[in-house]
Structure 1
Amino acid sequence: MAKRILVIDDDEDILEILNVVFQEEGYEVVLSNTGDAAEHIHVIHPDMILLDVRIAASAKNGAEICAEIKSQYKEKAPPVILVSGESDLAILANECGADTFIPKPFDIIDIVMQVKSHLK
């Protein structure tokens, strides 16, 4: 059974690129352009979450969503990777409990390698 990746980003181009890349790698991909998908993790059951910090159509930012996921699911929380162009991304990732972070613009090979290493 393929691992499921939830990608939350308000940039439709990034969603489409990551959808194609991860499907080609054999993953099942669930895309969301709002933070609302984070409210349905118990239904989606992602093995990993790629999360932008700034999500235009969301009441919460990615760091807030990450912190909620990590506190709500504790040791059962899927790995969360913040993917953002924020200048303080390392600090945000540390504060919200993200497993790692990838600055935008990102390298496709790097993001695939990061995902694979966290899904082992």
Structure 2
Amino acid sequence: MKRKVLVLEDEENIRSFVVLNLKRAGFEVIEAGSGEQALELFEQHPDIQVAVLDVMLPGIDGYEVCRTMRARGSRAGIIMLTARTQESDKVTGLMTGADDYVTKPFSVVELVARVEALFRRVGGGGFQEDDSIRSGPFRLNARSREVTKNGVKIELTQIEYGILKAFMSNVGRALSRDDILEMVWGHHYVGELKIVDVNIRRLRIKIEDNPASPRYIVTVRGFGYMWEG
């Protein structure tokens, strides 16, 4: 199985360095120097499994590429690559549909490790056909990695799916942010806990009748979250 990664970065020296190291790690890399080119390549290569998107670009920026990929139904893992350090910028990237972010200047070893971790999450596998979880109006099919609510399919990214699976497998159990981070991103993940909160905010928008007053994913103040299916 090919491990195909899209790298969008307009600075050629940075892009070349990232591409070289991803290839050394065994990935097939598709390169783009602009947002417009990235979207064209995305259409040409629907089997892209992970995308590394630079945020600060002339024309179509990384945020817009991410939004467009999600609007077109892509479930690829997306990592935002940004020089911005403001908290609001990180949240914006995650709320547009990204799964992770790496701030420049970055360690290429760390970036490759993030791509590896996200690829494992997106790749999935190992489920039996009858593996499914039911909770309230929700049904999670572990083989197809799909979720329905009252029989209607909910479009989720693979990270959102992973979070929901963690909750539905632990009904009534409070999970800390560290618990969720390890279950979904893996124990080698070295990012910030904030990524859990933003992804849960995004997930609530998709599954809750009223995201402002969640019925299923409830906050356990000072600790984390709990599924009340």
Q: Which residue of 2 aligns with 1:19?
A: 19
Compute the displacement of 1:52 (Å).
Answer: 0.4
2:77 aligns to what?
A: 79
CA distance in 2, matches of 1:18, 1:40: 18
Compare relative contact order (CA 8 Å, sep 6+) and give the higher one, 1 or 2. Answer: 1
> How far has the Cα of 1:40 moved from its partner?
3.5
Kept after mapping to 1: 8 A contact 2:34/2:60: no
Partners of 1:94 and 1:60 lie apart in 2 by 17
Detail structure 1 runs of 4+ shifted over 6 Å in the superposition. Answer: none
Instruction: Please give the alpha-carbon distance, in whole angstroms, between the structure 2 residues aligned to 1:17 and 1:40.
Output: 20
1:119 match: secondary structure:
helix
Q: In the alignment, does 2:8 pair up with 1:30?
A: no
User: How far, CA to CA, are the matches of 2:103 and 2:50 in structure 1?
Assistant: 17
* Structure 2 match to 1:39: 40
Cα offset for 1:42?
Answer: 2.7
Report the 3-state secondary structure (helix = DSSP H, G, I; strand = E; otherwise coil) of the residue aligned with 1:102.
Answer: strand
Q: Which residue of 2 aligns with 1:49?
A: 51
Q: Please state how far the C-alpha of 1:94 moved relative to its aligned partner.
A: 2.1
Q: Secondary structure at the match of 1:26?
A: coil
In 1, distance between residues paired with 2:39 and 2:14? 18
Match of 1:66 in 2: 66
TM-score in terms of structure 2 length: 0.48
How far, CA to CA, are the matches of 2:64 and 2:32 in structure 1? 16
Look at both structures and tell me which one has the larger radius of gyration over its CA atoms: 2
Partner of 2:6: 6
| Percent of aligned pairs sharing the same letter | 23
Return the offset for 1:39: 3.2
Q: What 5-or-longer segments of structure 1 have no aligned partner?
A: none
The alignment's TM-score, normalised by the length of structure 1, stands at: 0.88
Q: 1:40 to 1:23 in 2, by over 3 A?
A: closer
> Does structure 1 retain, via aligned residues, the 8 Å contact 2:83–2:103?
yes
Flag structure 2 segments of 5+ consecutive residues without an equivalent: 121-229
SS of corresponding position for 2:43: helix
The range that moved more, 108-117 or 35-44, is 35-44
* CA deviations over 1:4-45 (Å, ceiling 9, x no partner): 110001010111001110110010011111112213313123
Deviation at 1:65, TM superposition (A): 1.3
